[in-house]
């Protein structure tokens, strides 16, 4: 028995060391801006200090390559600096001519390996304006689509999961007819075993084709939680099925049907989210005056869209939302995931950009009435800050933004913890 325990301890320690070493670079290269908030005014020059750390010591006489250019676009300048006897080097980045972000990258080679990092600085980011515009019939288009979908019976079907339920929550798998007969939304419903009506959260997924299971951890905070997929397929299949779909029938789903606003892939997904909110309102254990949407990336986009379209959503948490100002590349600046319209010569681009306006997160953000909590960072390579600020800046509803400037496409725990505290305060839960 002792030999077995020692073996298990050895394996555990080995896995811990491997996990730690895989997330820590041998050399860390840093570009440190002279403004602690990484923010400047248009036209203001930024001063950077560059250094490289190896084994917790700054490297002297190290040659560091630096470059800068607009967020998500090619660098406009590349140069080199050499660190001094204290391990520091300095360079300047000219001020941007308009509100936006500049990506500053540093890299160096050590023993044949390249180490790098990025620092995105903002120039009056709260003044960034979107390139997309709202169609005159935007609200009419979505109101008619929702009205038509409402005529389709929900026909909800719940399957209890004894395996995933416990003494605190019940877990169910939900099948819900959506915007037309034979089209379904699938998800996992987690219900706290407490009496009375409870606040609810619609948890929306990031991009991918994958499974979901319960219980959802937010249910332990007192929420009824419905986590759904957006592809109209069951969420409890084998991983191999989702891999096949992602590489086959659903590969490139973000551009499917984009030549027509009525056939674009996300129309079904968005209406499915609204239908999920409608379902929550029918439940006796849900307080329909306290329903929130919650999600990041694609889920952040859908959180904003659903809150804009459903009058039953009274709060939302959206982190690094996708599909923000997707026409940006066409106008020579960074745009949000899924990075459409990079090639100005792509077939039918003008018509496709017109279709995108009916699905751009920016235009849904303009309609928001529910208060929202938002979170992202300046270094996000997927949902770049130029795009997310384009959406945030048009919101007139009560809003709060929690920045973790050095984050990429991820959040710090304190950002999600603060979001939960905010949401509970909105729903008078503490």
* Residue 200 near residue 291, CB atoms below 8 Å: yes
Contact 116, 105 (CB under 8 A): yes
Question: Catalytic residues, which ones?
Answer: 297, 380, 409
What is the longest distance spanned by two Cα atoms in the chain?
74
* DSSP E strands, 184-249: 184-192, 198-204, 224-228
In sequence order, the 6+-apart residues with CB closer than 8 A to the CB of 148 are: 179
The residues near 13 (Cβ < 8 Å, ≥ 6 apart) are none
User: How many CA within 13 A on the CB side of residue 93?
Assistant: 36
3-state secondary structure of 6: helix
Q: What is the dihedral of CA 225, 226, 228, 232, to 10 degrees?
A: 170
The H or E element containing residue 257 is none
Q: Report d(CA 36, CA 377) in Å as an integer.
A: 14
User: Alpha carbon of 188 to those of 93, 201, 257, 411: distances in Å?
Assistant: 49, 12, 28, 24
């Amino acid at each position: 028995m002792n030999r077995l325990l020692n073996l298990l301890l050895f394996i555990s320690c080995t896995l811990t060391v491997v996990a730690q070493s895989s997330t820590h670079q041998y050399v860390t290269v840093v570009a440190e801006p002279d403004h602690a908030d990484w923010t400047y005014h248009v036209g203001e020059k930024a001063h950077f200090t560059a250094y490289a750390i190896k084994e917790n010591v700054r490297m002297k006489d190290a040659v560091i390559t630096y470059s800068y250019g607009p967020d998500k676009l090619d660098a406009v300048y590349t140069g080199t600096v050499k660190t001094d006897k204290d391990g520091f080097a300095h360079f300047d980045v000219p001020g941007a001519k308009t509100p936006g972000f500049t990506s500053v990258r540093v890299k160096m080679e050590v023993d044949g390996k390249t180490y790098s990092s990025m620092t995105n600085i903002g120039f009056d980011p709260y003044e960034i304006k979107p390139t997309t515009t709202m169609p005159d019939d935007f609200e009419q288009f979505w109101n008619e689509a929702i009205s038509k979908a409402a005529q389709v019976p929900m026909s909800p079907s719940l399957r209890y999961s004894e395996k995933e339920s416990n003494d605190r929550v019940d877990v169910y798998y939900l099948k819900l007819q959506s915007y037309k007969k034979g089209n379904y939304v699938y998800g996992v419903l987690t219900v706290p075993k407490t009496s009375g009506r409870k606040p609810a959260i619609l948890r929306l997924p990031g991009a991918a084709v994958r499974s979901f299971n319960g219980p959802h951890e937010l249910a332990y905070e007192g929420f009824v939680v419905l986590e759904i997929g957006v592809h109209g397929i069951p969420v409890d299949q084998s991983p191999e099925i989702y891999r096949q779909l992602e590489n086959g029938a659903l590969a490139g789903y973000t551009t499917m049907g984009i030549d027509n606003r009525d056939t674009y892939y996300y129309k079904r997904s968005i209406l499915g989210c609204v239908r999920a909110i409608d379902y929550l309102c029918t439940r006796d254990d849900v307080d329909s005056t306290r329903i929130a949407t919650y999600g990041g990336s694609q889920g952040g986009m859908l959180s904003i869209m659903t809150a804009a379209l459903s009058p039953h959503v009274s709060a939302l948490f959206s982190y690094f939302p996708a599909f923000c100002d997707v026409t940006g590349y066409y106008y020579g600046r960074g745009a949000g995931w899924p990075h459409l319209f990079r090639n100005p010569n792509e077939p039918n681009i003008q018509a496709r950009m017109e279709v995108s306006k009916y699905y751009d997160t920016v235009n849904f953000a303009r309609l928001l009435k529910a208060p929202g909590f938002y979170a992202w960072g300046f270094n996000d390579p997927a949902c770049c800050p130029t795009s997310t600020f384009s959406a945030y800046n048009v919101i007139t509803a009560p809003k709060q933004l929690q920045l973790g400037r050095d984050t990429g496409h991820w959040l710090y725990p304190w950002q999600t913890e603060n979001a939960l505290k905010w949401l509970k305060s909105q729903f008078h839960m503490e």
